[in-house]
């Protein structure tokens, strides 16, 4: 059933992010559409379900639940097509309109803890992390074109506090959306970019 569903829908039929065309370039929007289409296919295959709105809703529920152990395989995220789409975004400049490198504040005070004499704190392993760009054209465009006030509030909080656990942000986003919201293509793009491709990028940059 999944195969027949996917075969009747080609990439040229999708226009998830077309609402952003007035404030992003055609190339940006085409890449967002391509990215969302690919993610939608992955969800359909993963959940073995042709109801795409339900699949998006299930995915957001799953990654937004701290209690639930996610059942996604590594190649759900680290597959050649997803990584290739991110590479295309970097080469075109779309990536920088969406994300920016997270720089830890060196002046941020750490909470002091009691340690035994002679204890040396192990050196922290550097994580290459990119977060939603608060000054990027993508977020600016979402703020102008999205009709969902709560979704915009979550995205703006995510850009302001970029090192918050993805599950917490996803949980907040889930509370702001219901299944029928995913009948709106732009909402699918928002979830694909904010809760799938950012994870792909994080895992791909920090492979051990």
pLDDT of residue 8 exceeding 60: no
CB atoms within 10 A of CB 76: 17
Cα→Cα distances 194→68, 86, 166, Å: 20, 13, 9
pLDDT in tens, 99-120: 999 887 655 544 444 444 454 5
User: Quick one: residue 5, left, alpha or beta (phi over 0 = left, psi -120 to 50 = alpha)?
Assistant: alpha
* Cα distance between residue 9 and residue 37, in whole Å: 10
> What is the pTM for the complete model shown?
0.85
């Amino acid at each position: 059933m999944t195969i027949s569903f996917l075969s009747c829908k080609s990439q040229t039929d999708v226009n998830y992010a077309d609402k952003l065309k007035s404030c992003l370039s055609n190339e940006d929007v085409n890449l967002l559409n391509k990215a969302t289409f690919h993610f939608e296919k992955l969800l359909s295959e993963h959940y073995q379900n042709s109801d795409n709105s339900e699949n998006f809703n299930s995915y957001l529920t799953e990654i937004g639940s701290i209690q639930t152990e996610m059942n996604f395989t590594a190649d759900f995220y680290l597959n050649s097509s997803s990584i290739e789409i991110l590479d295309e975004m970097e080469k075109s400049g779309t990536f920088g309109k969406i994300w920016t490198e997270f720089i830890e504040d060196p002046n941020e005070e750490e909470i002091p803890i009691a340690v035994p004499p002679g204890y040396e704190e192990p050196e922290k392993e550097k994580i290459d992390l990119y977060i939603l760009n608060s000054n990027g054209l993508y977020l600016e465009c979402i703020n102008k074109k999205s009709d969902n006030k709560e979704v915009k509030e979550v995205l703006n909080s995510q850009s302001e506090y970029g090192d918050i656990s993805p599950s917490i942000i996803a949980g907040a986003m889930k509370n702001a959306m219901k299944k029928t919201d995913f009948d709106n293509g732009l909402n699918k793009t928002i979830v694909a970019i904010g809760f799938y491709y950012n994870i792909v990028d994080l895992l791909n940059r920090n492979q051990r």
